[in-house]
Chains A and B, each alone.
Chain A
Amino acid sequence: DQQVKQNSPSLSVQEGRISILNCDYTNSMFDYFLWYKKYPAEGPTFLISISSIKDKNEDGRFTVFLNKSAKHLSLHIVPSQPGDSAVYFCAARWPNFGNEKLTFGTGTRLTIIP
């Protein structure tokens, strides 16, 4: 069973507008959530994260929102730029001290239209 879900395989957004990527999870034990960005032929790179005790974390153009009651998180990118075109993965951490693992979603391909 897929514990972390990204239901939109792809998303197209006009340059300068807001991009909103969504992620749902099923396990309430996850204690940390991360977003990764991946360009073709490269490894994923860390973008932003949020602890389960917070509901918002902001870093420049990127903001992650967490709604624990709905088991939902979203990544907002404002304003969107052509370099943001990539595949975005959300990931959730299982809190096993010293043995933490991440469970990844299936990814959303974001295309920014100039």
Chain B
Amino acid sequence: NAGVTQTPKFQVLKTGQSMTLQCAQDMNHNSMYWYRQDPGMGLRLIYYSASEGTTDKGEVPNGYNVSRLNKREFSLRLESAAPSQTSVYFCASKTRDRLQNEQFFGPGTRLTVL
């Protein structure tokens, strides 16, 4: 039981390049989330998916797209990377059960855009 896995762990891009961050969970969770963490800013929600087939914008969606490929996988795409997108990206998942409020996080992807 791996929990939430993210690939890659590290990535360096040049301005204008595109890439997709992959996330998968094996806990049969309905909801999945993408966050970015920047110094002094905490964790900010980029996009989330409450269930398979649905996605919604979070607090900072500009410059990103997402795909909920199936129940297990939720990918984040940067179409044209910018230096402002240099950050650590975390994927998380959560069960639909409202009595279980915690989100489970992956180990993160550290992205640098030059």
Contact = CB atoms under 8 A, between A and B. Distances in A.
A104 interface: yes
Contact of B104 (A4, A46, A97, A106): A46
Interface in A9-39: 9, 32, 34, 36
Interface in B83-112: 90, 92, 94, 96, 98, 101-108
Contacts of B41: 106
A89 B42 contact: yes
B48 interface: yes
Interface residues of A, number: 27
Interface size class of B (residues with CB under 8 A): 20 to 34
B50 interface: yes
Contact of A43 (B31, B42, B98, B107): B107
Interface of B: 4, 31, 33, 35, 40-45, 48, 50-51, 56, 58, 90, 92, 94, 96, 98, 101-108
Given A102-B103, A105-B42, A107-B42, 8 more contacts: A6-B42, A36-B105, A41-B108, A43-B105, A43-B106, A43-B107, A89-B42, A100-B94
Closest 5 CB pairs between A and B?
A: A43-B105, A46-B102, A106-B42, A104-B43, A104-B42
